[in-house]
Amino acid sequence: MNVQRDYEALVQQGLKLDLTRGKPSPRQLDLSEDLLRLPTGHTAADGTDGRNYGNLQGLAETRELFGPLLQVPAAQLVVGGNSSLTLMHDTVVHALLTEVPGAARRWIEAGEITFLCPVPGYDRHFTICERFGIKMVAVPMTADGPDMDVVERLVAADAGVKGMWCVPKYSNPSGIVYSEETVRRLAAMPTAAPDFRIFWDNAYAVHHLSERPAELADILALAEQHGNPDRVFVYGSTSKVTLAGSGISFFGSSPANVAWFLANTAKQSIGPDKINQLRHVEFLRDADGVAAHMRKHAELIAPKFEIVDRVLTKELGGLATWTSPHGGYFISLEVPRAREVVAKAKAAGIALTPAGATHPYGTDPDDRTIRIAPTYPDLAELEQAISGLAVCVRLVAEQG
Amino acid sequence: MNVQRDYEALVQQGLKLDLTRGKPSPRQLDLSEDLLRLPTGHTAADGTDGRNYGNLQGLAETRELFGPLLQVPAAQLVVGGNSSLTLMHDTVVHALLTEVPGAARRWIEAGEITFLCPVPGYDRHFTICERFGIKMVAVPMTADGPDMDVVERLVAADAGVKGMWCVPKYSNPSGIVYSEETVRRLAAMPTAAPDFRIFWDNAYAVHHLSERPAELADILALAEQHGNPDRVFVYGSTSKVTLAGSGISFFGSSPANVAWFLANTAKQSIGPDKINQLRHVEFLRDADGVAAHMRKHAELIAPKFEIVDRVLTKELGGLATWTSPHGGYFISLEVPRAREVVAKAKAAGIALTPAGATHPYGTDPDDRTIRIAPTYPDLAELEQAISGLAVCVRLVAEQG
C-alpha cells in the first residue's frame, strides 16, 4: 500500500473538517430546545422574584439540584453565569488580589508561584496561568490520574506551588477517571504552602457514554476528613448538558472558601441570572431528569467515540495508541511526531487542535499527543476525518 | 406643630418600608414578562447557532441595536453577561494585571493609583476601588456634572490618577446630566497619566422620565477628535430596561481598547449567552421599540418621582434641598445631619441607604446627602415613607 498516494488522494478530496474544539453538535443542542420556552413562572420556591436583582449565591432549588451531582453540599455551592471557565479565571484573580483563607499574603505578592498541570490537559487552564505569569509544571498522567508520587514531592518541596489543575472525571483530553486512591492522596497530602488549592474542574461529572457511570471519590469530604477542608475549589457547568453558550455554572468549596468567594463576587455583581436558573431547574427537574437527559446525549455521541476507535484500530494498530473513554468529550491520540501529523492533516483540510496545546506553554516535549474532539461533526464527516488523520499518521511514520 | 409628637406617632405606625436600592418594581418587571417565551428561534442573522459556544464580542444584531443607544459604533461594542458592574470590575482587574493601551506598566505595578469620584456618586463604584486599594479622591458635582476646574487640575498634576467614575446621564444619585461643555472638557483635558481612563457608566442612557429626553454629548467621538481616542470605557446594560437580574451588558471603547478588552476576556470565557441576546433583540426590536418600552417604565415611575417632590416640597420647604431628575432611578436629598436622619428613619421602620454611602469610604464630610430610591415601593408606601422621612428631617433640625 502506498501511503504517499493515499495522502495525495486525501488532499485531492478537498475536505474541510474540524476536530478542534469540544462543541456539542446541533442535534445535541436540539435536546434542550424546550429551554427557549421556559421558565413558565418567575418565582423561586422561597418566593424570590427571579427577575429582579440579588441572591448572589444562587437559588436554593438550583443548588439543591446540582450540588449532589457535583458532590458539593447545596449550602456550599454558588451558581454563576454561563461559563465555569469564568469562575476558574476569576478565582485565580481573587486569589491574586485578595488573600485566600490560610494565605499569609495575596498571591500577587507571593513571589513566583507555580501551578501543577497534569498532562495531557486542558489548554484553557494553561492559558489562565500564562496570562498571569503563573509558572506551570507538567505532571504526567497515569491510568489512575496524575502521577501522585510526583505531585506529592512537588507540593511538599515548594511553598510557591499554590495550585493544581484537575479534570478528575473523563479528563480532558484522555478521558481518564481519577481513582479513589488518587483522590484520597490529593486530599490528604502535606503541602508546603498553607494556601495550596486544587482547581477541581468537574466538567464532565454526568457526561457518561456507557451504562456503567464512573464513580469519582468525594474530594471535598476527603479533604475535610484529612484536615485540609479549604484545599479544593470545585467547578462545573451545564454547558455540555443543556446549551453550550447559555447554561449555568457552579463553584463549590468549604464554607470558608465560599465566604471568601462570595465576599469577592459581591464587589463584582449584584447577583446571577436567576431566570436562567429557574429555566434549568424546570427543564431538568431532578437527578433522574439529568441522567435521562444525559443518556440522550450519549445516544448521539457514543457512536462517534466508537467510530474513532474503530477507524484507528483498523488503520493504526501498532503505529499509535489512543484512549477509549467512557465519558467526556475527548480522545487522546499518541503518535510519533504529532506536530508533523497535525500539519499534514491541516494541508488536507482536517483541522486539529495544535499539537502541544495539551501541554503547558503549548509544548509537548515528546511531540506525541493529539486531542481528538469527535462530538461536533456528523458521523460521516467524522469517519472521513479520522480516516484522513490515520493516513497522515501513517505518512509521517513512513517518512520518519 | 409638635415634631416630637409627629415622630412618636410615626414610630407607632410600625412601618416596614425600604427606600435603599434602585430596584425596578414588580410591575416594571411585568413589562418584560414576554422575554420568558423568547427567542422563537436560535439562529442569528449571520447564521450563527446562538446555542453553542463562541462569539466573544456578541452578535452583530445585538451590537447594532444597542450601539447607537450608548453612542458606541457597533463594531466597538462588546456584549457581556447580566451585569455591567461585572464589566466595570473586570476592566479594573484587567488594567491591574495587563497593561492598558498606552500604559508603561500594569496598574498593580504603578505604585499608589487614584480614581476621581464625583460626589455624590454610586457606592458600588467606590467598593471596587476599595477592594483593590485604589485611592479615591472626591470631586464635587455641579448642575453640569463634576466640577471640571477641579478635575482638570487633579488629572494634570498627578500621573497616579488613572481613572475617574462617571454616571453622565441622570447621575446616581443626583439625576444630573453632564453638560456638553463638561463632556468636551473631559474628552479634551491633558492628563499626566498616558493611561488615564474614564469609566463612563451610562446606566440610564434611555431611562427618561419626561417627554423631552436629555441629550448627552458623544464622549467617544469627542475624545477621538481631541487626540485622546483611548481615554473612555463606556458601560451600559438592560438591567433597568428589561429584567434586572437577567439582562445583557455592554462595554464600548476605542478599537485599541476593545482589542485589549477582548484579548483579556478571551482567557475568561468562551463567549457570552447569545440566546439571551437574541431574546432581547426579538423583544425590543429597534431603537423605537426601546423608546416605546421605556415610556411604559416612565408611566410607572414618573408618578413616584412626583410624589417624592410633592411631599418634600410640602413638608420640607426651606429645611432641605433635593434634586428633581428627568430620568434615572434616584433623587438626592440634602439635609443637615444626614446620619441622624437616617438613624431616626430606621428606628421608625423606614430603611434608607446609609448616609455617607454616596461618598468614597462611606464618609460624607458634610454629613448631608441621602439617596432616595423611589422605584420599588408602590405609590402609597412611597408617600408614607417620604412623609415619615420628612418628619425625621424636621425632628433632627429642631433638635440641632
Residue B37 lies in a domain: no
Which is nearest to A76 in space by CA: A305, A345, A256? Answer: A256
B127 touches chain A (CB under 8 A): yes
Residues A204, A209, A211: CA angle, nearest 5 degrees: 115
Which H or E run includes A10?
Answer: helix A3-12
Distances (CA, A) of A308 to A302, A348, A367, B79: 10, 18, 21, 38
Distances (CA, A) of B346 to A19, A259, B301: 62, 28, 24
- Please give the Cα distance from B88 to B392 (Å, whole number): 36
Does B192 lie in the same domain as B77? yes
The alpha carbon of residue A82 is apart from the nearest alpha carbon of chain B, in Å, by 6
Residues of B in contact with A269 (CB under 8 A): 82-83, 85-86, 89
- Please give the Cα distance from A94 to B40 (Å, whole number): 38
Does B261 lie in the same domain as B322? no
Range of the domain at B321: 3-22+290-399
Residue A37 lies in a domain: no
Does B315 lie in the same domain as B263? no
Give B337-369 pLDDT, tens digit per residue.
999 999 999 999 999 999 999 999 999 999 999
Residue B400 has pLDDT above 80, yes or no: no
Contact A37 B37 (CB under 8 A): yes
- Report the CATH number at residue B193: 3.40.640.10
Q: How many domains does chain A have?
A: 2
Find where cell 437574541 sits: B278
Does A108 lie in the same domain as A7? no
Three-class SS of B189-252: CCCCCCCCEEEEECCCCCCECCCCCCCCCCHHHHHHHCCCCCCEEEEEECCCCCCCCCCCEEEE
B43 touches chain A (CB under 8 A): no
Residues of A in contact with B26 (CB under 8 A): 49, 52
Of A131, A244, A274, the CB nearest to B267: A131
The letter for the amino acid at A272 is: P
Quick one: pLDDT at residue B263? 98
Residues of A in contact with B53 (CB under 8 A): 21, 23, 239, 244-245
Give A344-399 pLDDT, tens digit per residue.
999 999 999 999 999 999 999 999 999 999 999 999 999 999 999 999 999 999 98
A29 touches chain B (CB under 8 A): yes
Mean pLDDT of chain B: 97
Q: What is the DSSP string of B333-346?
A: EE-SSHHHHHHHHH
Q: How many CB pairs under 8 A join A and B?
A: 154
For residues B276-303, b (16+ Cβ closer than 10 Å) or e, as one string? bbbbbbbbbeeeeebeebbeebbebbbe
Give B80-101 pLDDT, tens digit per residue.
999 999 999 999 999 999 999 9
The letter for the amino acid at A233 is: F
A132 touches chain B (CB under 8 A): yes
Could you give the count of Cα atoms lying within 13 Å of B366 in the half-sphere of its Cβ?
Answer: 12
Contact B85 A273 (CB under 8 A): no
Does A248 lie in the same domain as A127? yes
The DSSP call for residue A284 is: H
Does B312 lie in the same domain as B211? no
Distances (CA, A) of B141 to A378, B118, B173, B278: 61, 6, 11, 39
- Please give the Cα distance from A180 to B210 (Å, whole number): 65
Residue B36 lies in a domain: no
Contact A273 B81 (CB under 8 A): yes
User: Other CB atoms closer than 10 Å to residue A286's CB: what's the count?
Assistant: 12
Average confidence (pLDDT) over B166-185 = 97
The stretches of chain B forming alpha helices (DSSP H) are: 3-12, 26-30, 60-69, 84-97, 123-131, 148-157, 180-188, 219-225, 255-265, 274-284, 287-316, 338-347, 379-399
Does B219 lie in the same domain as B107? yes
Are A68 and A252 a contacting pair, CB within 8 Å? no
Contact A245 B53 (CB under 8 A): yes
- Residue length, chain B? 400
Does A300 lie in the same domain as A279? no
- Please give the Cα distance from A96 to A376 (Å, whole number): 36
- Residue length, chain A? 400
ipTM for the predicted complex comes to 0.97
Which H or E run includes A208?
Answer: none
Average confidence (pLDDT) over B327-335 = 97
Question: Which residues are within 8 A (CB) of B47 and not within 5 positions of it... i.e. 6 or more apart?
Answer: none
Does B297 lie in the same domain as B246? no
Find where cell 484536615 sits: A227
Does B334 lie in the same domain as B261? no
Taking chain A (400 residues) in consecutive chunks of 10 residues, what is each chunk's mean pLDDT? Answer: 91 92 95 98 97 98 98 98 98 98 96 98 98 98 98 98 98 97 98 98 97 94 98 98 98 98 98 98 98 98 98 94 97 97 97 95 96 96 96 92
Residues of B in contact with A264 (CB under 8 A): 131
Of A255, A284, A313, the residue that ends a domain is A284
Of A284, A319, A337, the residue that ends a domain is A284
Mutation for A interface: B275, B278, B280, B282, most A CBs within 10 A = B275
**Residue B1 pLDDT level (bands cut at 50, 70, 90):** low
Contact A127 B267 (CB under 8 A): yes
Of B24, B35, B82, the CB nearest to A272: B82
The letter for the amino acid at A363 is: T
Residues of A in contact with B83 (CB under 8 A): 268-271
Contact B29 A51 (CB under 8 A): yes
B52 touches chain A (CB under 8 A): yes
Contact A245 B128 (CB under 8 A): no
Contact A269 B83 (CB under 8 A): yes
B264 touches chain A (CB under 8 A): yes
A239 touches chain B (CB under 8 A): yes
Quick one: pLDDT at residue B99? 98
Does A216 lie in the same domain as A201? yes
Contact A273 B97 (CB under 8 A): no
Quick one: pLDDT at residue A1? 61
A249 touches chain B (CB under 8 A): no
Which is nearest to B394 in space by CA: B324, B347, B349, B336? Answer: B336
- Please give the Cα distance from B237 to B149 (Å, whole number): 31
The letter for the amino acid at B91 is: T
Phi, psi (degrees; rounded to nearest 5) at A79: -105, 130
Residue A28 lies in a domain: no
Average confidence (pLDDT) over B143-170 = 98
Q: Tell me how far the alpha carbon of residue A116 is from its chain's centroid.
A: 16
Rg of chain B on CA atoms, in Å: 22
Mutation for A interface: B35, B55, B243, most A CBs within 10 A = B243
Does A12 lie in the same domain as A61? no
Of B284, B309, B342, the residue that ends a domain is B284
Residues of A in contact with B268 (CB under 8 A): 83, 85-86, 89-90
The DSSP call for residue A327 is: B
**Residue B318 pLDDT level (bands cut at 50, 70, 90):** confident
Give B246-303 pLDDT, tens digit per residue.
999 999 999 999 999 999 999 999 999 999 999 999 999 999 999 999 999 999 999 9
Residues A331, A336, A337: CA angle, nearest 5 degrees: 100
Average confidence (pLDDT) over B62-74 = 98
Contact B82 A267 (CB under 8 A): no
